[in-house]
């Protein structure tokens, strides 16, 4: 699919403008290659990690939840530090080193499995290592998107660039899951070697993106910038913007309810109710991420979404109904259909929320604000996974889905009755950003009436 901007009318371009646009699109394609390199491996990991814990080692629900916390938990502690780091350093150099470092844990785990030495402790160590690296990688990669689009002169809008990046992410995850399904035939170790190779390609892709020019932030006289201070400043910026606050709070709540259910209740459901096995683990994951990919394609074809909050709320309400459907026993093919529909909702929610953050955040603090946003999904997930482990153990995997169904419905109700999220337009988000953080805005606020 062409990544040319479908939001703008076709205009005749001078040769120099056409050449610049072509260079900008080429640089953006390298950003998409960077995105794909991470999620090609991440997709296979998403299938094989819960399979190894829940099926190969036959761990109880609580232990499955703890393992998912090990994989996602570092986000709670380090994601904000990762955002501050990305705002301070050369983003491209940081991403190159992180991708090379990320090749080590999959190779180590492949060696342990090949030597028949797999243990629960080894999976916990793998989860902690990959979760820590991911906590620094996500905000750095996400903060690179807007500068790549704006510096390259590609003509893409930020929202469309986010849609294309999400489509690439979901497509790469889907491909990684298909590769993971081959573990039935080739074994698990080669799949983790594949993950390592995919990550290594990202170290090259990032070097082909344009340099990011960051203006150094000046600390007040007599003080020096600290990580804790920068994180506190980011939360202050977040609370100053109504759109940033509502989006971040929403994705955190969705992360606790929906992702926690997906990480724990779904694997236990597949294992206990449908016989387990790597093929079935891959199938329900493929159905879900096929849905996210389909939603990303549909959004990209549609073009600019003027009311992204409304699209998010619709996806949350539909997810509530789907969770209710998962609470009822049924054939495995029905589980696949519900997983696909759930994935479509997740694709809409992730794309719209991410584009809102990219549009609403000021450049100098974008990585920090994106890290807080990511904390909603990735940080809320360990909380939800831990809680869902106990819920599944007490009432079973089917009945456990009553919890996210009721919780998501409550989120939609609060958004509709207590905020302007339903009617908020993208133009209003941009206007709020310009009003709060345009040059001279701070001085204007401090000037006495």
| Phi/psi at 303 (5° precision) | 90, -145
Apex 275 CA angle, 273 and 280, nearest 5: 105
Alpha-carbon torsion (382, 130, 356, 358), positive or negative: positive
Question: Cα 423 vs. chain centroid, distance in angstroms?
Answer: 25
CATH topology classification for 20-210+227-436: Growth Hormone; Chain: A; (1.20.1250)
Q: Dump pLDDT digits (tens) for 350-374.
A: 888 888 888 887 776 777 777 777 7
40-92, pLDDT tens digit by residue? 998 888 888 988 988 888 888 778 878 878 887 777 778 788 888 887 888 88
Decide if pLDDT at 287 tops 80. yes
pLDDT in the model for residue 445: 41
Cα distance between residue 334 and residue 320, in whole Å: 17
Q: What is the pLDDT of residues 142-186, one digit of tens each?
A: 888 888 887 766 677 888 888 888 889 888 988 998 898 888 889
Q: For residue 307, is pLDDT > 60? A: yes
Give the per-residue pLDDT at 271: 84
Can you give the pLDDT at residue 241? 82
pLDDT at 233: 76
CA distances from 370 to 90, 225, 269, 357, 388 (A): 17, 20, 33, 7, 26
Please state, in angstroms and rounded to a whole number, the distance separating the CA atoms of residues 162 and 149: 10
Q: 13 near 21, Cβ under 8 Å? A: yes
Burial of 262 (0-12, 13-18, 19+ CB in 10 A): buried
At residue 73's C-alpha, the angle toward residues 71 and 74, to 5°, is 95
Q: How far apart are CA 235 and CA 371, in angstroms?
A: 11
């Amino acid at each position: 699919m062409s990544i040319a901007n479908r939001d703008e009318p076709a205009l005749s371009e001078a040769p120099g403008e056409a050449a610049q646009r072509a260079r900008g699109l080429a640089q953006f394609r390298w950003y998409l290659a960077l995105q794909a390199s991470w999620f090609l491996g991440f997709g296979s990991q998403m299938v094989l990690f819960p399979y190894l814990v829940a099926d190969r080692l036959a761990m109880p629900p609580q232990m499955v939840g703890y393992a998912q916390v090990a994989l996602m938990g570092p986000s709670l502690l380090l994601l904000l530090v990762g955002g501050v780091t990305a705002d301070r350093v050369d983003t491209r150099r940081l991403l190159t080193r992180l991708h090379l470092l990320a090749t080590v844990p999959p190779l180590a785990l492949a060696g342990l499995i090949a030597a028949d030495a797999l243990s629960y402790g080894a999976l916990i160590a793998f989860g902690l290592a990959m979760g820590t690296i991911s906590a620094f990688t996500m905000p750095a990669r996400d903060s690179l998107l807007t500068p790549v689009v704006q510096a390259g002169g590609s003509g893409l809008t930020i929202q469309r660039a986010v849609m294309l990046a999400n489509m690439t992410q979901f497509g790469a995850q889907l491909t990684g899951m298909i590769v993971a399904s081959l573990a039935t035939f080739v074994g698990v170790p080669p799949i983790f070697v594949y993950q390592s190779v995919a990550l290594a390609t990202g170290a090259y892709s990032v070097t082909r993106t344009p340099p990011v020019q960051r203006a150094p932030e000046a600390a007040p006289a007599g003080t020096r910038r600290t990580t804790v201070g920068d994180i506190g400043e980011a939360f202050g910026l977040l609370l100053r913007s109504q759109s940033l606050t509502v989006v971040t709070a929403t994705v955190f709540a969705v992360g606790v309810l929906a992702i926690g259910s997906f990480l724990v209740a779904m694997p236990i459901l597949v294992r206990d109710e449908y016989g387990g096995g790597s093929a079935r683990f891959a199938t329900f994951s493929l159905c879900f991420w096929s849905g996210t990919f389909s939603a990303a394609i549909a959004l990209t074809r549609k073009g600019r979404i003027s009311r992204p909050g409304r699209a998010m709320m619709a996806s949350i309400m539909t997810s509530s109904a789907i969770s209710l459907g998962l609470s009822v026993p049924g054939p495995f093919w029905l589980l696949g259909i519900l997983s696909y529909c759930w994935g479509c909702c997740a694709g809409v929610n992730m794309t719209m929320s991410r584009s809102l953050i990219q549009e609403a955040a000021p450049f100098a603090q974008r990585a920090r604000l994106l890290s807080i946003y990511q904390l909603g999904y990735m940080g809320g997930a360990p909380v939800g996974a831990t809680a869902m482990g106990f819920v599944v153990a007490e009432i079973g995997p089917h009945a456990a889905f009553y919890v996210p169904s009721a919780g998501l419905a409550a989120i939609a109700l609060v958004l509709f009755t207590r905020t302007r999220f339903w009617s908020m337009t993208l133009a209003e988000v941009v206007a709020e950003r310009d009003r709060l953080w345009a040059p001279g805005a701070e001085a204007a606020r401090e000037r006495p009436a």
